[in-house]
Amino acid sequence: MPPLKKMAAADTRTAAARANLSAAGIAALDPALDASANLDLLMKRGLLSDAVRFLAHSLPKREAVWWACLCARDMLPADAAPALLAAVQAAEGWVMAPSEEKRREAMVTAEAAGFRAPASWAAVAAFWSGGSMAPPNAPVVPRPSTGGPANRSRGISPVPRLLGVFGAPHSLFWLIDMVLSAVMPQAQARIGLSKRIPCHQCG
């Protein structure tokens, strides 16, 4: 697999610690290699669950949320409720042009969707990308900075939990394919947008 430039700033040890890798996954890592090369090692050894978690904790904020958007969009049924579609669109809107207003709008749509589907968690990921967790006029409440499947200090990693929502029948190969679509230069947009994340705004 070609090196993923979006993982260049990731620290292998930090990402591995936050990703809660299996014993086999930890043993497979080579601290002398960068995060992208270690992802390749995990995949070559067939440790796909570890690979997904490691990758999710290695991406910058916007790419991690974009990954969640691609997964959630792909999992939307043809007759998706308007609230679910609105949640995905809100998360996508934050990715394309991050702002405090759009971050909070994403959380509103996640609440309206009921936190019961991948679309909801994509929107939650946008909200958890930074800023205060409290209402706009309340004292600042910082987001958690360590641990958990849904957040990390440098960004958001909701994707690993998406497979568990509604017992989604998608594979780990599918999750990895989705992130390649999100971060590799030659990939095509999967959700009907005319372009990937604007490169001048990435990271």
Secondary structure in 3-state letters for 20-88: CCCHHHHHHCCCCCCHHHHHHHHHHCCCHHHHHHHHHCCCCHHHHHHHHHHHHHHHCCCCCCHHHHHHH
Q: Note the pTM of the prediction, 2 decimals.
A: 0.73
Confidence of residue 17 (pLDDT cuts 50, 70, 90): confident
Whole-angstrom distance, CA of residue 197 vs CA of residue 203: 10
How does pLDDT run across 45-69, given as a tens digit for each residue?
Answer: 988 888 888 888 888 888 888 888 8
How does pLDDT run across 95-146, given as a tens digit for each residue?
Answer: 999 999 999 999 999 999 988 788 888 898 899 888 888 888 888 888 765 4
pLDDT surpassing 80 at residue 175: no
